[in-house]
Structure 1
Amino acid sequence: MKLAIVTSVAILIGVGSALAGGGAPVPEGSQNPPPSGRPSASLDDAACQDVWKMAAPAGDTLSKDKATPFVVNYEMVDADKNGSISQSEFQTGCGKGWIQKPDASTVNEMKDTKQ
């Protein structure tokens, strides 16, 4: 009798483990690392416009050498891959977190070079 109970319990545990499966599925996209230059918090429209005015005072495009203090990942923002960032690309980059506000020391350095 004891042998029958122990055998039944062992079979139930074995079958239960086999039917349990792998658990909950992994959410889509959670295993994909972000590209180099991790995105930061996205900027609202007003902050994006302020940063654009600092980055491209002439208002036309932003070259790669001038983008460094503002753009986290230049290749991600330059969507058309033409070597410069348009205002439209810049705004899209703001929404995706690829544009950041420069720190205070960078802003001061930029003011010094304009004078």
Structure 2
Amino acid sequence: MSSPLPVIAAAVAALGFGVAYAESTTAPALTEDECRAIWNTAAGRAELSADGAKPYIDNFESVDTNRDRKVSNAEFRAGCKAGLVHKLHRVE
């Protein structure tokens, strides 16, 4: 009997969840102070665009949870807690 995993993975990918999950990387969660400092540097009072997020977020779609192509302060803070935001751009 074959594994149902390929079928499940295809269904998840078709719904748009697979790409963000497969490509997301997590780091240790940032403290609230670290997160606030990065937000103030990256966005300040505005929402954060994909280009503005590049130094701090490896997978923009994983943090942009409402899919409006910008990261709000609330989404950014949630990304910090989830380990999806980091201090410096990582080179892999």
TM-score by length of 2: 0.70
Give yes or no for contact 2:24–2:62 (8 Å, CA) kept in 1: no
Larger strand proportion, structure 1 or 2? 1
CA distance in 2, matches of 1:97, 1:35: 15
TM-score by length of 1: 0.57
CA deviation after TM superposition for structure 1 residue 68, in Å:
0.2
CA deviation after TM superposition for structure 1 residue 60, in Å:
1.9
Deviating beyond 3 angstroms after TM superposition, the runs of 4 or more aligned structure 1 residues are: none
Deviations 1:54-105 (A, max 9, x none): 1103x120000111001121001000000000000000000000000026xx
Q: 2:63 aligns with which of 74, 77, 85?
A: 77
Q: Tell me which residue corresponds to 1:101.
A: 87
CA distance in 2, matches of 1:44, 1:68: 20
- The AA in structure 1 aligned to 2:87 is K
Q: Which has the larger radius of gyration?
A: 1
Structure 2 residue matching 1:39: 3-state secondary structure: coil
Q: Could you say what the CA RMSD is over the residues aligned between the two structures, in angstroms?
A: 1.3
The aligned length equals 69
Q: Tell me which residue corresponds to 1:108.
A: none
